[in-house]
Structure 1
């Protein structure tokens, strides 16, 4: 029996650590110089762009794209670089000098600058990605906007926010970026026969609004897995149609057999009737004159 003298109050049990420790929303990048370090979205979205960047009017062997790769842009300051979330180049082989996978993209050693750059907004990178602060100290590297617009003169610059699903696009016109308008929901890039737009769908089993490549006519450029799935579906449909056609042929053959049997049966009955008439003294051929 518990008595007042030996009763010891029990303290509340400790909370589990997942209720007291910081969450992923409380722990941003631990590197203040890289506030936009990749997260899951920064891996999947560039991957989808990479898989669907297929300029129709270019040899696939001369199309290159990369994600989160150092882009060196100033021969006077060879250590200065930017790291786009994704960029695409045409007229450049997939391998450096046709031999090696790239460690970085060094513009003064490549035959072409990027044709299009895409930045995915992250907390802390908005000002630089959107060009709201383009001035930098004389001894500091210029900001992204200035590098893309004035130094590399990249024809298309795209910014997408997964938080607001806002898509902003700029085209180089007369040496300066001008805002682009959507045409039927897409950003047209006729030089490469492609357009860029938002697509609601499932990629890697994740359903959300994705940024991806289309044809100029607005048709999806399929990723390899989508193309394989579509081919499988076409094969299933073709097989089903072949089965249905075979079944129809079997049914038609059965109907022909039944029709032939009916004709034979009708002929047999006619012959039996004619024989019965002859037995009754009537020539069945004479009846034709009265019919």
Structure 2
């Protein structure tokens, strides 16, 4: 095989996201409603203050290509986030997939939403068959070296958090609602009981350094509406106060305009 001199990098020689398929017919179909709503909530509340909006990528069910020797091998996390990378591919295009050898930045965190069919795969309990792609666990832990791996079981609301220490994941003891703190983001991830998309249940959600849940888009609009209403009420109160003062001055035979 011809080798250029100097040798070219994987970024230059291997397929880009435009060359790789974003969908495979043999893969499972569309996700259920929880697999739509929960990643959306993670997206809305993932607002790290340590990075600009253009340095943050979060994605749901996006093919993650990871192996330079087997360019079609991929995983499709339920949700993942990358920081320190352009929000747009090469700062110009929405991504069709995330290609590790092109991006050169691995995800910081992956979230898998457990289901009976994927439990063993997600928790590293399934064995790799000969000549078959590695499991998700192996890809996240040993190939991409993703620092934070979160698994949430919506059937019993069990949250499991794994942090990369050395060569292996170690499970974090989860004792409180606000379970995982990521210093580099100044954000934490925990379990929140509340309504989202009109559904009350326990959800995964990001919180800030003061322990406050990061507001969703709807909550942000409601906060802005309340602030605007308070400003209107304050302005109306000041106007009424000024009108009463002007009336009192007129009763005393004083022209209020003398004070303007």
Q: Work out whether the TM-score is over 0.5.
A: yes
Any conservation in 1 of the 2:159–2:174 contact (CA below 8 Å)? no
Q: 2:39 aligns with which of 46, 65, 70?
A: 46
Asked if 1:224 is matched to 2:224, the reply is no
Post-superposition offset of 1:227: 1.3
Q: Are positions 1:76 and 2:69 aligned together?
A: yes
TM-score by length of 2: 0.80
Q: Which residue of 2 aligns with 1:236?
A: 229
- Structure 2 counterpart of 1:180, from 149, 172, 176: 172
Which of 154-163 and 207-216 deviates more?
A: 207-216
Residue equivalent to 2:6: none
Q: Which has the higher contact order (CA 8 A, sep 6+)?
A: 2
Question: Are residue 171 (structure 1) and residue 155 (structure 2) matched?
Answer: no
1-side partners of 2:105 and 2:233: how far apart?
49
Which residue among 162, 186, 191 is the counterpart of 1:193? 186
Return the offset for 1:226: 2.0
Q: Runs of 5+ in structure 2 lacking a partner?
A: 1-23, 254-260
Change (3 A) 1:183 1:215: farther
Q: Which residue of 2 aligns with 1:286?
A: none
Query: Structure 1 residues 242, 85: closer, same or farther in 2, change over 3 A?
Result: same
CA distance in structure 1 between the partners assigned to 2:249 and 2:156 by the alignment: 66
Structure 1: tracts of 5 or more residues without a match: 1-30, 262-291
Q: Tell me which protein shows more helix as a share of its residues.
A: 1
CA RMSD in angstroms, aligned pairs only? 2.3
Aligned to 1:88: 81
How many residues are aligned here? 229
Measure, in 1, the Cα distance between the counterparts of 2:234 and 2:175: 38
What's the offset of the Cα at 1:182?
Answer: 4.3
